[in-house]
């Protein structure tokens, strides 16, 4: 049974990077340290197996391993979510079953990474995955990254058909998130990502929280906490400090994995190794990582 209800899910949630050793194997100690650092920053939730986790490069066994490790290291301290990757309903349901078995509080099915179809196919696909679990389900709607997605009205239809679809994970401009909140009549919590860009305005339009990679997670947590207490000036100060680094790493998913992960590693004291194929850093990019890491300081933990 999940530890947390959908109403408990809010704030800044960390989406973990996949951390590899020099032999391109998942690094158990580094993954544990990443979770410990995120918890030390005061994150309001933990997540894994999203785009930042390089989920498409992982085998099914490795995705299960990351679920096991993340659940062990989070230990029920904050809500835990897993993105669900798979090309078929059966593959995604198998991943959902494992998420259930390790105590996930919610799951986030991704659009199947095959083909490009009409909305009705995605509604059926997500609906069948949602029907297979009693866990709260969030639909990941990120057409800019996946090349496929649903409109606000189509998401509302899906919610009506499947009551356990209780959250939405968007990935886009704050204006799109505001429209989604309006079209769903504020009945369902909406999270955004986008590396924390437009962070404070996401909160202003009613976004329940953000799911972010951990390179600037400490500042995002402080910004959210300040905003919740009504101190928008303090929230803006924290956002302003993280913004240049967020703009630098959020120039596409491969850029995030290359430089965002290295920025996290520099701030956390964790060596970063790539799994082939990967975007390789340039000297100019590494110099920017070093400069931003020095400006932001060491992460706690």
Helix axes 60-74, 28-41, angle to 10 degrees: 40
Exposed, middle or buried: residue 87 (CB in 10 Å: 0-12, 13-18, 19+)? exposed
Q: 161: helix, coil or strand?
A: helix
Q: Which residue's structure tokens are 């409109």?
A: 151
Distances (CA, A) of 246 to 16, 113, 188, 199, 295: 16, 26, 27, 10, 13
CA distance 76 to 146: 30
Long-range contacts for 91-95 (Cβ within 8 Å, ≥24 apart)? 91/60, 92/129, 93/128, 93/129, 93/132, 93/133, 94/60, 95/60, 95/63, 95/64
User: Is 211 labelled as part of a ligand binding site?
Assistant: yes
CA distance 47 to 35: 10
264's tokens: 């996290």
Q: Residues forming the annotated binding site for pyruvate?
A: 211
Q: Residues forming the annotated binding site?
A: 211
């Amino acid at each position: 049974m999940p530890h947390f209800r959908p109403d408990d899910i809010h704030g800044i949630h960390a989406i973990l990077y996949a951390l590899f050793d020099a032999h391109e194997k998942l690094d158990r100690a580094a993954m544990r340290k990443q979770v410990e650092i995120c918890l030390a920053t005061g994150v309001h939730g933990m997540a894994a197996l999203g785009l930042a986790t390089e989920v498409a490069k992982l085998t099914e066994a490795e995705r299960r391993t990351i679920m096991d490790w993340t659940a062990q290291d989070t230990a029920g301290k904050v809500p835990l979510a897993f993105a669900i990757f798979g090309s078929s309903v059966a593959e995604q349901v198998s991943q959902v079953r494992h998420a259930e078995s390790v105590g996930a509080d919610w799951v986030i099915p991704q659009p199947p990474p095959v083909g490009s179809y009409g909305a009705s196919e995605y509604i059926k696909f997500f609906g069948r995955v949602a029907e297979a679990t009693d866990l709260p389900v969030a639909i990941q709607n990120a057409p800019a990254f996946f090349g496929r997605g649903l409109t606000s009205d189509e998401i509302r239809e899906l919610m009506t058909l499947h009551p356990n679809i209780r959250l939405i994970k968007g990935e886009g401009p704050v204006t799109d998130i505001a429209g989604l909140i309006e079209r769903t009549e504020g009945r369902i919590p909406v999270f955004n990502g986008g590396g924390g860009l437009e962070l404070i305005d996401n909160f202003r339009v009613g976004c329940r929280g953000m799911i972010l990679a951990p390179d600037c997670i400490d500042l995002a947590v402080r910004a959210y906490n300040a905003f919740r207490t009504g101190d928008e000036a303090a929230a803006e100060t924290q956002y302003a400090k993280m913004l240049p680094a967020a703009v630098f790493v959020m120039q596409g998913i491969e850029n995030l994995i290359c430089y965002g992960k290295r920025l996290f590693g520099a701030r956390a004291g964790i060596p970063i190794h790539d799994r082939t194929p990967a975007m390789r850093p340039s000297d100019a990019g590494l110099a920017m990582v070093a400069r931003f890491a020095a400006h932001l300081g060491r992460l706690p933990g």
